[in-house]
Amino acid sequence: MPIDAIKTAQAIGILGCAFTSALTLPAHKPPSSASLIQITPGAPISHITHQWLYIFSRGKQIFPDLAAISSTAHVYLAWADSRESNSVCYALAAAVTMAIVPFTLTVMYPTCRGLENHATRDDAAEVEGKEGMVTSDQEVAKRAREDQEALVLLRRWSGLNAVRALFPLTGAVIGFCAAVCV
């Protein structure tokens, strides 16, 4: 195989994985003693979940392609590298990177679905022009419970998102180790 093709594939695989991981992580706040305290958000929770939905929707459009491109580069390297140990490492890097998809679709799905439902709960009322309607005490209490549940879901999603970012990061590390292995 031409050396330029190998080096290009290494760069695409490693940097693509690292880029995917880096873009996933900023949404995660590292755990600290301050984050364990119950925090009241400064904006209405419905606004926060709408922001989350926008960011998550953008991520659904971008991250699967980035992971697939990086993994494709690693699969090419697994095929092209004549050293068996490197081929195994590149194949493992591709598999670990693509694990971001089933993790999101299985482990994160219930949390994401709950946040999406919260973010869109008032959309129909806004379309119909009923967003300013007077609600009963029961409805107010129900909405308050839903808001508290949404805060819990946001915190859970933040932790799961940090775990999810580890998949492409691990793929980048494995790909890098295979690239520098002599």
pLDDT digits (tens, 9 = 90+) for 96-151: 999 999 999 999 999 999 999 999 987 765 655 565 666 788 888 888 899 999 99
Q: What is the distance between the alpha carbons of residues 10 and 90, in angstroms, rounded to a whole number? A: 9
Q: What is the pLDDT of residue 104?
A: 94
Q: What is the distance between the alpha carbons of residues 147 and 65, in angstroms, rounded to a whole number? A: 33
Whether 180 contacts 89, CB under 8 Å: no
Q: Which two tokens stand for residue 151?
A: 């805060």
pLDDT at 39 over 70: no
Average pLDDT of the chain is 85
pLDDT at 38 over 70: no
Average the pLDDT over 161-182 and give the result: 92
Q: What is the pLDDT of residue 34?
A: 42
